[in-house]
A and B are shown apart, each in its own frame.
Chain A
Amino acid sequence: MSGSGPAVRVSIESSCEKQVQEVSLDGMETYVPPLSMSQNLAKLAQRIDFGQGSDSDEEGAETEPRDPQEWGKQEPEEDEATVKFQPSLWPWDSVRNNLRSSLTEMCVLYDVLSVVKEKKYMALDPVSQDPSAGKTPQVFQLISKKKSLATAAQLLLKGADKLSKSVAENQENRRQRDFNSELLRLRSQWKLRKVGDKILGDLSYRSAGSLFPHAGTFEVIKNTDIDLDKKLPEDYCPLNVQIPSDLEGSAYIKVSIQKQAPDIGDLGTVSLFRRQPKAKAGTQPWHVKLEAAQNVLLCKEIFAQLSREAVQIKSQIPHIVVKNQIISQPFPGLQLSISLCHSTGEKKNQRASPEKPKPDDHLYVLEHNLHQLMREFHKQTLSSIVMPHPASAPFGHKRQRMAGPMAYDKAEISNLQQNEGLLEKIIKQAKHIFLRSRTARTIDSLASRIEDPQIQAHWSNINDVYESSVKVLITSQGYEQICKSIQLQLNIGVEQIRVVHRDGRVITLSHQEQELQDFLLSQMSQHQVHAVQQLAKVMGWHVLSFSNHVGLGSVESIGNASAITVASSNGEYAISVRNGPESGCKVLVQFPRSQSKELPKSDVIQDGKWNHLRGPYKEVHWSKMEGRNFVYKMELLMAALTPCP
C-alpha cells in the first residue's frame, strides 16, 4: 500500500480511428482528417437519391452496390445512421433533414456570434490582406464605376418612365371623370336624353307651354381636341355643345318710338347692335351658349307671333312687316317700330358703324314686357283649365265647352275668346308710355316757363301698364295755404287723359298735346282770380261779384277770362280784376267820389254824404306794381287801400 514497488507507467492511447491517407517515406503517417459533423452528414446525404420514390426499385438497386462498399468501412458507427436515411421509410424525412441542417447552421451561427461577442475561448483576428492584391489599376476602377453608375441610371430612368406614364394616365382619367361630372352638371340644368350613341338636349320652351314649331335640339359632344403635352388653357371644358345654326349668336327685340320717317326706303335695315353683356365668371361656356340660344329662340317666337298678328288682325292703319321689322302707327305722326336684332357674332357684318351712336330710344320696358307676355301665354297653355272633364273630351277652355249646352250666341262666344293679341297689347302699352311722357313734358315745360302761378306735379308711384295718374297743383308762392282751390287729378290712359277737378268736374282730353297745355293755362288764369277771392276773405274785404267765365270783353282763344270785384271793409274802395289766359290781367280800382278830381260839380247832388260813394275807376299799372307775384301785389294793393283806423 505505501509505495513499495516502482511506478508503472500506463499510457493510454485512443484507438486509431482515423484512416491512414498515406505513409510517407520517413514513416510518417498522414491521416485523413476526420469528417466533421456536417461533412459526414453531407456525405451521407449524397448517397441518398431523392429522385427515387418508394416504388422505383432498380434505382435503389443501383445505389445498393455503391452503398455496401462504403458501409463495409464504416458499418459499426453508421449502421443506425444509415437506417435513418432510407427515403422510402418515412415521408417526413426530407423535412426532418432540412430542419436538422438548419439547426446545425443556427448552432454554427450562434457559436460564431458568441465568439465574436464574448471572446473567451476564441477571438476573431483580422487576416492581413495581401497589399499587392488590393491595388487595382485606375482605369479599371473608372470603368467599373461607370458601369455601376450606368446601371443605376438605367434603373432610375425606368422608374421615371413608369412614373410619367402613370401621371399621364391619371390626367387622362381625370379628364374622363371631368367629362362625366360636367355632363352631370349640364343635366342638372338642361333637359338631356340619349338617342343611340348621341346625347341630345332640348333648349326650347316646349315643355313650358310654347307651341313654336322649332325643335330646339342641341347635341353634347366631348371635347377631344386637346394636346396632352401642352398646358391646358384656363377656360378648358371637356364638354362642348353644338346648337342649331339658326340659333347662333345673340338676339334681342328692339322697340322704339320715333317721329314718322318721311321715306320708307330704309326699312328693315335695323342693325344697330348693343354689345352683349359679359358672362359671369363662374358660369360654364356651355351654359352661356345655351342660354343665348334659348334667348334667340324666344325672340324668334315673339317676333313670329307679332308678325303673324300684324298680318292677320285688321286695324284701321295697317301694320307694315318688312324683313325683321314691324312698323305701326299708334298716333298720327308717330311711328312704333319693333324689330328683331339678331347678330351671329361676326363683327364684320355690322353695318351701322358704332362711331355715330344714335340716341338710345330703345324702350327696354316694352322689350321686357314682350318677354313676359310671351311667357304668360306659355303658362296659359299649361293651365289646368284646359284639361278636359270628362277625360274623353278634347282640350279647350272649359268655358268654351259650355257654349253648346248653354246655347251661346255669336256675341257671347266672341267675348269668350281672347281678342287681344300680343301686338295689340304692346301697341297699347307703347301708346300709354308715349302719352305719359308727353304729358310730363308738357307740365314740365309749363312749369319752367311760367313762374306765377306755380305748377306742381305729384306723380303716383304705382301705375298700371295702361294707366298712370298725376296730381297737379297750381299755387302761388308764399300763399299755398290760402290759395289752393285749383287741384287737378289727371288719369293718363291709353289714348285719353281724364281730368278730375277739385270742384267735381270731369273733363276728358284727347291725346293732343295742345289741349292739355291750353287747359292748364286756363286753369292758371282762373287760379289768380280764385286767389283774389281767398285773399279778400283773409284781408277782410267783401266779394261783390265773381265769375269764372265772363261774357264781356274780348274773346279769349284759350279758355275764358274770369273776373272778380271786391270792396274794402268800409266800402270806400273796390278792386276789380279781370284775368284771361291770353289777355293777361287787368286791375281797376274804384275810388270814392270825394277823391276823384274829374267829377263835375253839379247841383243835383246836394247832400255831402253822397261823396262817400265810390266813383270812377282807375286802372293800375300792374307791371310797375311792387311785389314778386300777383297775389303779393294784390295784397299790397289791398293793404294800401285799407284805411288806418
Chain B
Amino acid sequence: MEAPPVSVLPITGGTISMMEYLLQGSVLDQALESLLHRLRGLCDNMEPETFADHELVYLLKGQQGNPFLLRARRSLSHPTVPWHLRYLGQPEVGDKSRHALVRNCVDVAASHSLPDFLNEMGFRMDHEFVAKGHIFRKGVLKVVVSKLSRILVPENTENTEPLSLSYLVELSVLVPAGQDTMSEDMRSFAEQLKPLVHLEKIDPKRHM
C-alpha cells in the first residue's frame, strides 16, 4: 500500500516560526589548523568543542512532485542525548541584496525511537552520512566546521570514508521570523574570515 498523500501545510499555532540564516564555504584539509586558530580568536572564549554526528535524511514521496524531506541527526560522542529532527523549507526569494540564505526551519528534539517512528509514518531513508568536526559560537552565531564521511556499510558508523579532502564551514543563526538584522552581522563576520575561507550563500537548487 502506498503512502497516503501528504499535503504540506504551513506550521501554525503555538510555535514561533524560526528562520535560519546560512552562509557556507569550504577549506582544504591543510588550511584547517589556521582556520581553527582564527575562529578560536574571533569567537567566544570557550573551550573548543568537537562533535561527531550521524545524520539520516528521510524522504516522503507524495503524489505531488516534490518529496518532503526531514533530517534526523544523532550524536555519536554523546549517545544518550536526544535525536534532533529538522525540517528546512525553501530558501526565501527575498531581495537579492540579502547576504545570507534564509529559510524556514523547524527543530524538534526526539527520543531514540525516531527512525522506527519515521519508518512507520511512511518515510524512507534516502542517504546517511557522518559529520565530525568543531563547533564555535559567537553570541547567537554558530560556526560549524565539519568533515563529511560516507558510510560504506549501512548502519555501521565505524566504517566510513571521507567524501572529499576539505572541510565544510557553515555559519548559521536561528532567529524568530520577522527580524532581519542578522544578515549584516553575518556578513561582517564572514569578512573577517575572508582570505582563509569565503563564506557565501549557496542556493541548493542551483546545484541539484
**Residues in A lying within 8 Å of B, measured CB to CB:** 206-209, 211, 382-384, 386-395, 398, 401-406
Contact = CB atoms under 8 A, between A and B. Distances in A.
Contacts of A405: 82-83, 109-111
Q: Taking chain B's interface residues, is the majority helix, strand, or loop, or is none over half, making it mixed?
A: strand
Interface of B: 18, 44-47, 49, 51, 53, 55, 71, 73-75, 77-78, 81-84, 86, 107-111, 131, 133, 135, 137, 139-140, 142, 144, 146, 174
Contact of A387 (B83, B107, B137): B137
B77 to A, nearest CB: 7
Given A207-B44, A392-B84, 18 more contacts: A386-B137, A387-B135, A388-B84, A390-B74, A391-B53, A391-B73, A392-B53, A392-B55, A392-B144, A393-B73, A395-B137, A395-B142, A401-B82, A401-B109, A404-B82, A404-B109, A405-B109, A406-B111
12 contacts: A209-B44, A211-B139, A386-B137, A388-B135, A391-B73, A392-B84, A393-B107, A395-B142, A401-B109, A402-B82, A404-B108, A404-B109
Contact of B75 (A209, A211, A390): A390
B103 to A, nearest CB: 14
A406 to B, nearest CB: 8
A386 B139 CA distance: 12
Nearest to B78: A389
Given A206-B139, A395-B142, A404-B82, A389 B75 contact: yes
Contacts of A387: 46, 49, 135, 137
Nearest to B133: A391
A356 B177 CA distance: 56
Given A398-B81, A401-B82, A391 B144 contact: yes
A394 B174 contact: yes
Contacts of A207: 44-45
A258 to B, nearest CB: 40
Contact of B131 (A208, A209, A388, A391): A391
Nearest to A404: B109
B45 A390 contact: no
Contacts of A209: 44-45
A400 to B, nearest CB: 9
B84 A393 contact: yes
A207 B137 CA distance: 10
A93 B47 CA distance: 86
A385 to B, nearest CB: 11
A397 to B, nearest CB: 12
A404 B81 contact: no
Contacts of A398: 81
Contacts of B44: 207, 209, 382
Given A394-B107, A398-B81, A402-B109, A389 B140 contact: no
A388 to B, nearest CB: 8
The 7 nearest A-B residue pairs measured at CB = A405-B111, A389-B75, A390-B53, A390-B73, A404-B109, A405-B82, A393-B84
A404 B81 CA distance: 12
B109 A391 contact: no
B144 A384 contact: no
Nearest to A403: B109
Contacts of A394: 18, 107, 174
Contacts of A406: 111
Nearest to B76: A390
Contact of A392 (B81, B86, B140): B86
A541 B53 CA distance: 85
Contacts of A401: 81-82, 109
Contacts of B53: 389-392
Contacts of B18: 394
A420 B135 CA distance: 30
Given A391-B53, A395-B142, A404-B110, A208 B45 contact: yes
A384 B142 CA distance: 13
B18 to A, nearest CB: 8
B27 to A, nearest CB: 17
B77 A384 contact: no
Contacts of B55: 390, 392
Contacts of B51: 389-391
Contacts of B71: 392
A404 B15 CA distance: 14
Contacts of B84: 388, 390, 392-393
Contact of B46 (A384, A389, A404): A384
A416 B84 CA distance: 20
Contacts of A211: 139
A391 B135 contact: yes
B73 A382 contact: no
